[in-house]
């Protein structure tokens, strides 16, 4: 990229340099400016005009080449003062160049200020040689002012870096949260559909003598596989997305609980669905949470309580939806779902149920899972209908 086709910041610098140059030759600002050394002032000349340009025009590259900007502007200022040229508003370029070194210098951050300090010492010696009445204290005070201008640029640079670090950290946190969400979705999709297919395939091998029932079983396996592929394609599409889609577009649309119950029932698990009240308008995140709770609970029922009665109950109110899935019996000591303590049931760290708890609590709801006093297992969640993941 050519320097004149640079970023918007460079365009602003060029405009800034142009404005500063015009003001340096416009009354009444043209005679206002810094003067070091108190040497006798001569009339304006071609040299003074060229040296004024040398102090203003380098501002056009102050962001891209701050060190070079300071070198040209500083040298022009020093020669301008040593020749006794009249004061000019263009001397402001020296301060702008110093600030730019502090704020934008990428390489040789220490070397450039040290070189500038050496140049200032030589400038002070030259002024003294030319008969300047200024003393050491005067030069030290001027140096402190110039150093303060450079320090202001350093402070701005540091704050800009801290802000960039905060934005990077926020982006990393958002990415990690999105990865956890996608991992949770993948777990729910793969576990449920693969479990259903395994159970259906296991049942099909006993139906070889009943072609009609065998065909139904194979159709069920085929349908389950197709649904799994559809959901996996969607999730893989999200993982490959460029980030142009909004959060709503990245959220998988949940299916219907009755279809989920019917699919599980077709696999041989006795499941009953009871729905109380009319389902209100629910946010996508809340609908997806309710669907995943039923999906994960039915998956565990098929894995650990195969053949036992399973009840799915949905209770709707204007502000909340309650989801409850209970099984008549469940295997104790499995690696996935539950373990018992003296003070009652607890989760044993299974990713599925733990993920459901995190999902519901993120929406501001309540989640509980454990053994029922009379036997069996119960999963219960209370989800606000306006919750959004």
pLDDT tens-place string over residues 151-186: 999 999 999 889 988 988 888 887 777 777 777 777
Look at residue 265 and tell me whether its pLDDT is greater than 80.
yes
Shared-domain flag, residues 244 and 311: yes
Domain boundary among 116, 134, 152: 134
In a domain? residue 140: no
Would the pTM count as exceeding 0.85?
Answer: no
Look at residue 2 and tell me whether its pLDDT is greater than 60.
no
Question: What's the average model confidence in pLDDT over 44-63?
Answer: 91
Q: What is the pLDDT of residues 70-124, one digit of tens each?
A: 999 999 999 998 998 888 898 999 999 999 999 998 888 888 989 999 999 998 8
In a domain? residue 389: no
- Residue-wise burial string across 80-106, b where 16 or more C-beta atoms lie within 10 A, e elsewhere: bbbebbbebbbbbbbbbbbbbbbbbbe
- Residue-wise burial string across 240-266, b where 16 or more C-beta atoms lie within 10 A, e elsewhere: eeeeeeeeeebbbebbebeebbebbbb
Question: What's the average model confidence in pLDDT over 246-258?
Answer: 59
Number of independent structural domains in the chain: 2
Query: Average model confidence (pLDDT) for the chain?
Result: 79
**What local confidence, expressed as pLDDT, does residue 351 receive?**
57
Helix (H), strand (E), coil (C) string for the chain = CCHHHCCHHHHHHHHHHHHHHHHHCCCCHHHCCCCCCCCCCCCCCHHHHHHHHHHHHHHHHCCCCHHHHHHHHHHHHHHHHHCCCCCCHHHHHHHHHHHHHHHHCCCCCCHHHHHHHHHHHHHHHHHHHCCCCCCHHHHHHHHHHHHHHHHHHHHHHHHHHHHHHHHHHHHHHHHHHHHHHHHHHHHHHHHHHHHHHHHHHHHHCCCCCCHHHHHHHHHHHHHHHHHHHHHHHHHHHHHCCCCCCCHHHHCCCCCCHHHHHHHHHHCCCCEEEEEECCCCCCCHHHHHHHHHHHHHHHHHHHHHCCCCCEEEEEEECCCEEEEEEEECCCCCCCCCCEEEECCEEEECCCHHHHHHHHHHHHCCCEEEEEECCCCCEEEEEEEECCCCC
**What local confidence, expressed as pLDDT, does residue 241 receive?**
53
In a domain? residue 255: yes
**What local confidence, expressed as pLDDT, does residue 340 receive?**
33
Q: What is the pLDDT of residues 189-239, one digit of tens each?
A: 776 667 667 766 766 666 666 666 667 667 767 777 777 777 777 666 656
In a domain? residue 61: yes
Shared-domain flag, residues 116 and 184: no
In a domain? residue 159: no
Q: What is the pLDDT of residues 330-378, one digit of tens each?
A: 544 443 444 333 333 333 334 567 778 888 888 889 999 988 887 889 9
Q: Which domain holds residue 22?
A: 3-134
Shared-domain flag, residues 225 and 345: yes
List the CATH number of the domain containing 297: 3.30.565.10
Better pLDDT: 184 or 15: 15
Shared-domain flag, residues 80 and 227: no
Look at residue 145 and tell me whether its pLDDT is greater than 80.
yes
Tokens found for residue 114: 């040290």
């Amino acid at each position: 990229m050519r320097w004149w086709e640079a970023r918007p910041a460079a365009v602003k610098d060029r405009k800034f340099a142009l404005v500063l140059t015009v003001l340096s030759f416009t009354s009444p600002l043209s005679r206002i400016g810094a003067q070091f050394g108190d040497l006798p002032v001569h009339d304006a000349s071609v040299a003074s005009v060229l040296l004024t340009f040398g102090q203003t025009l380098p501002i056009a590259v102050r962001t891209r080449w701050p060190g070079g900007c300071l070198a040209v502007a500083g040298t022009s200022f020093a020669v301008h003062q040593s020749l006794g040229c009249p004061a000019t508003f263009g001397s402001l370029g020296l301060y702008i160049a110093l600030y730019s070194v502090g704020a934008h210098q990428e390489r040789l951050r220490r070397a450039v200020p040290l070189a500038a300090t050496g140049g200032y010492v030589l400038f002070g010696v030259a002024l003294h040689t030319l008969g300047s009445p200024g003393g050491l204290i005067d030069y030290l005070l001027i140096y402190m002012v110039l150093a303060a201008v450079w320090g202001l640029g350093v402070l701005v640079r540091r704050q800009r870096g801290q802000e960039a670090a905060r934005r990077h950290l926020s982006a990393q946190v958002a990415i990690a949260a999105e990865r956890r969400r996608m991992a949770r979705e993948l777990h729910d999709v793969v576990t449920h559909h693969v479990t259903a297919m395994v159970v259906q395939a296991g049942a099909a091998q006993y139906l070889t003598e009943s072609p009609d029932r065998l065909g139904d079983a194979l159709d069920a396996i085929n349908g389950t596989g197709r649904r799994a592929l559809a959901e996996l394609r969607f999730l893989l599409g999200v993982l490959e997305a460029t980030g142009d889609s909004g959060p709503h577009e990245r959220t998988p649309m949940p299916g219907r609980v009755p279809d989920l119950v019917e699919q599980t029932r077709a696999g041989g698990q006795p499941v009953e669905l009871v729905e109380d009240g009319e389902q209100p308008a629910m946010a996508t995140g809340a609908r997806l949470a309710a669907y995943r709770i039923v999906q994960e609970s039915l998956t565990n029922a098929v894995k650990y309580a195969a053949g036992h009665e399973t009840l799915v109950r949905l209770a709707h109110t204007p502000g909340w939806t309650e989801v409850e899935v209970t099984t008549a019996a469940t295997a104790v000591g499995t690696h996935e779902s539950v373990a018992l303590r003296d003070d009652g049931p607890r989760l044993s760290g299974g990713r599925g149920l733990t993920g459901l708890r995190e999902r519901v609590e993120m929406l501001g709801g309540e989640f509980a899972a454990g053994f029922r006093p009379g036997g069996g297992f119960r999963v219960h969640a209370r989800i606000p209908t306006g919750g959004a993941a």
